[in-house]
Structure 1
Amino acid sequence: MTATPPDGDDQVTITDLMTPDPEDDAFVVTSGSSRGLKIAGLIIGIVMVLSLVVTGGYVAWALNAPLPAATLEWQTPTVETPIAAQISVPSFGAAALSVSGADIYLGDGASGIWQTSGPQDPQVMASISKIITALVVLEKYPLADASDPGPTITFSKADHDLYDQYYVRGATIAAMPTGTRMSLHDALATMLIPSASNYAEAISRWAFGSISGFRAAARDWLQAHGLAGTTVVEPTGLDSENVSTPTDLVAIAKLAAANPTIAAIVGTPSLTIPGPGSLQNTNALLGVDGVTGMKTGNLGYGTYAFLFTAGMDIEGMHLDVTGAIQGGATRESVNADVLRMIDSIRRGFHDVPVALAGDHIGTVTAPWGGTTEVVVSRDVDIFTWSDTPISVEVTMADPTEFATGDVVGQIVWTAGPHTESADLIVTESIAPPTDWWRLTHPAELIGR
């Protein structure tokens, strides 16, 4: 069937009217709706998948990311300076003291005087002169070691007569029969242990031919060792012109202690030698409170002198103490002064309490909430000398987990050569952050 349009346009068949124009919008929408829905669904699916992937990755990251460090607030504690040691010095007479072996605390005691008291001018040294006599003789006739007997001395009738001469003067003497043959070592022992004056002169005459010869040798020896405050006019010390200063005597004692023969002899409490017989050391303090030597002397009240050496072991340190006292009132008072001096040195080394377990150092605050106290883990004492300053150093870690007793740092105290340390611990646990906190605080996790 064919229709004719009234306006005279081309004819249109019924078939044409029933076949849509592919260029018509209605055609596109109507005929393409199924395929469009498929594309839109695909896009939405992709977005949803990506969202799930991204969201799931963040969750996994947030729940497993390392935690940020906590905030630690702390102060380095201070330690009060300990009380200074009070070294006991004689109230009567004069003294000098040297201590070596604890140089980091006390200075170089091996080469210097550590402390003095009283007048330091030359004073009577009495029988301490015999130490100088031994040093001068051994410089001319050195012995290899403490067991070396050295040359043999034969004592003459003139030597034997010295016994009576010194007996009349009230001096200490020892038997010396005419014709007695004795090693230099044993002769020196007889001179030093009981302080026999007749042996001091006999040895000097043997070594230098005369007292004047000895005097010249002693003068040269003193000058060579820079002992300007010391004068020796004879070998026994009975002459009051034999004088020295406390500081010179300390130097002399160190020279004697360095000589193995003299050191061994003055450290011998008693000895029996054929001829002089049984000899007892005049040093009543030998072996008491670490005293190892050296020589006593006196010319009566107010002239008592003591040249001493002592050793003490303190906290792994060996100290050598060398001291001299002159012008003491009595032998008993001088002995007491020496023991008080040694004891005051020993008591000057002490343990100083620097911390108690539980002492507060600071606090820890976790970014996700919660705080705990930082304390010292144990009681701490540090060994030191006198008022040596004590320094303190604190080192803190960057912990992220906190259980009671966890170590978060260390504290170290230093005094001289000694150090002590203790852990710093937290007193309470801080619970870990919740998953929600992790998920809602990415900035903290990223900027940890």
Structure 2
Amino acid sequence: MTSTRPSARVYRRRRIVVFSALAVVLALLTGAGVYSANALGAPVPSAAPEVADPAPVAAAPQQLVLPGFGGWAIGAVGFDGLLASGNEQTPMAMASITKVITALTVLSEHPIPPGEGGPDVEYTEDDVDIYWDMAAQGGSVAPVEAGATLTLKESLEALLIPSGNNYGISISNWAFGSEAALVEKANAWLAANGLANTHVVDSSGMSDDNVGTPADMVALGEIALGEPTIAAIVASKSVEIPELGTLTNSNKLLGTHGVDGMKTGTTDDAANLLFTADYAVGASSVTVVGVLLGGETHEIIDAAIVAMLDSVAPGFHEVAPLEANQVLAEYDTPWGDTARARASSGATVVVWNDTPVDVEVHADAVSLADRGDEVGTAVVRAGSEEITVPLVLDASLSDPGAWWRLTNPGALDDAGAQSGSE
């Protein structure tokens, strides 16, 4: 019977121990390697922004001097709604403000290119008869000569500047064949442009059945300003037309208190004025559009409009709620990098009266980013106006490096959990 020698048994035991120890060491090294690989490749945690929202800005309310009579409204181009009004939804006789509707209706089908006079309009004895008929009715007229040829722009100047009723009919006949056809076209134009509370029955406003609300008249004025031919005509104090001589504007406020348009209207019972005015506000300007209907005389309504405009104009002001490079958020990473989010540009708005200006900051959480990266927006709001300004970093948020990753497993675990849940 053969027995194993003691020395052989000891050797086998040592060999088992050595290999067991090696297995343990290898396991530890493998685990460390897995941990290191995971740590070095794991996402780093995001840095939440500490946002600095600027406080809203609002001026003290402007005290207005408002008419105590008639129907009136005042607005401004680019500003929602009306700045102030009284009886603004009450239909009232427009008188010669009707001529603005006539001119817009004609130009909608016979446009005049900017800087040009448009097509020729030939005048005959029939137009002279229209002149005398209007004069006999006590309406305002502008001179006309049989055999004369005027451009459409010159014809519209005779209609709007001295408020020639006779030109309303003559232009209607030329453009549409008759005044009745013009009336039909004009009412369709009014409906298409949202002026539902305005209605015309003739081309000049002679009838008190030509009615509109003050609110509609402000909208009409804004539309007329968008038509270059009309805007230029109503801003003219006078024009010289060879066949007609000098025509003088019936709007006595032109060139005063910022007034640069638009149309008078006179009935047997009242005086009206649809007016526009421009005011410099900071680096820009504001165009005001207003109307006063139902005054006793033009002297009375002119005085009321001047007082109103002189109180309205100071109510517009420029606000700069954001400056370029203004700090709106700050970042502080767990590994010690810091950066600030700055406004990429400034923002300036023109506001009316006590309209508040607010800045809403939206800054993203950031982990790794370069200087100049966009990390959110600042939204400036003033009424319905909105300006969006990008936010950019003023420093880089760099990778924390291997040592920080290996020594901050908890932070990496949290970052991984956040990443997995997104």
Q: TM-score range by the shorter chain?
A: 0.5 to 0.7
The runs of 5 or more residues in structure 1 that have no matched partner are 1-77, 102-107, 353-382, 392-413, 418-448
| DSSP 3-state at the match of 2:64 | coil
Match of 2:164 in 1: 196
Shift of 1:326: 0.8
Deviations for 1:119-167, whole angstroms, at most 9, x for unmatched residues? 521100000000000000001100111x211111111211111111111
- Find 1:125's aligned residue among 91, 94, 98: 94
Shift of 1:261: 0.3
Residues 139 and 386 of structure 1: CA distance in aligned 2, closer, same or farther (over 3 Å): closer
Give, in whole Å, the separation in 1 of the partners of 2:317 and 2:107. Answer: 41
Give, in whole Å, the separation in 1 of the partners of 2:90 and 2:357. Answer: 38
Residues 384 and 324 of structure 1: CA distance in aligned 2, closer, same or farther (over 3 Å): closer
The 8 Å contact of residues 317 and 351 in structure 2, kept in 1 or not, is answered as yes
- Find 2:134's aligned residue among 158, 163, 166: 166
| DSSP 3-state at the match of 1:235 | coil
Give, in whole Å, the separation in 1 of the partners of 2:104 and 2:317. Answer: 38
- The AA in structure 1 aligned to 2:89 is Q
Q: Report the structure number with the largest CA radius of gyration.
A: 1
Residues 143 and 351 of structure 1: CA distance in aligned 2, closer, same or farther (over 3 Å): closer
1:244 aligns with 2:209: no
The 8 Å contact of residues 87 and 214 in structure 2, kept in 1 or not, is answered as no
Residues 171 and 346 of structure 1: CA distance in aligned 2, closer, same or farther (over 3 Å): same
Match of 2:225 in 1: 257
Give, in whole Å, the separation in 2 of the partners of 1:79 and 1:157. Answer: 67
Deviations for 1:72-113, whole angstroms, at most 9, x for unmatched residues? xxxxxx999764212222111011111245xxxxxx33xx33
Match of 2:298 in 1: 331
- 1:57-76 correspondence runs (5 A): none
1:144 aligns with 2:106: no
Shift of 1:339: 1.2
| DSSP 3-state at the match of 2:143 | coil
The size of the alignment, in residue pairs, is 279
Residues 152 and 351 of structure 1: CA distance in aligned 2, closer, same or farther (over 3 Å): closer
- Find 1:345's aligned residue among 312, 330, 334: 312
| DSSP 3-state at the match of 1:227 | coil
The 8 Å contact of residues 350 and 385 in structure 1, kept in 2 or not, is answered as yes
Deviations for 1:285-321, whole angstroms, at most 9, x for unmatched residues? 11111111000001034x2111111110122231110
| DSSP 3-state at the match of 1:127 | helix
Give, in whole Å, the separation in 2 of the partners of 1:268 and 1:203. Answer: 20
Give, in whole Å, the separation in 2 of the partners of 1:313 and 1:179. Answer: 46
- The AA in structure 1 aligned to 2:215 is T
1:314 aligns with 2:296: no
Shift of 1:276: 1.9
- The AA in structure 1 aligned to 2:94 is M
| DSSP 3-state at the match of 1:191 | helix
Identity %: 39
TM-score by length of 2: 0.62
The 8 Å contact of residues 81 and 388 in structure 1, kept in 2 or not, is answered as yes
Name the Cα RMSD after superposition: 2.7
The 8 Å contact of residues 384 and 415 in structure 1, kept in 2 or not, is answered as no
The 8 Å contact of residues 282 and 317 in structure 2, kept in 1 or not, is answered as no
1:299 aligns with 2:267: yes
The 8 Å contact of residues 281 and 318 in structure 2, kept in 1 or not, is answered as no
Shift of 1:219: 1.5
Deviations for 1:326-379, whole angstroms, at most 9, x for unmatched residues? 111210111112111211112335799xxxxxxxxxxxxxxxxxxxxxxxxxxx
The 8 Å contact of residues 281 and 317 in structure 2, kept in 1 or not, is answered as no
- The AA in structure 1 aligned to 2:111 is P
- The AA in structure 2 aligned to 1:263 is A
- The AA in structure 2 aligned to 1:324 is V
Of residues 317-326 and 184-193 in structure 1, the stretch that sits farther from structure 2 once superposed is: 317-326
The runs of 5 or more residues in structure 2 that have no matched partner are 1-54, 320-349, 359-379, 386-422
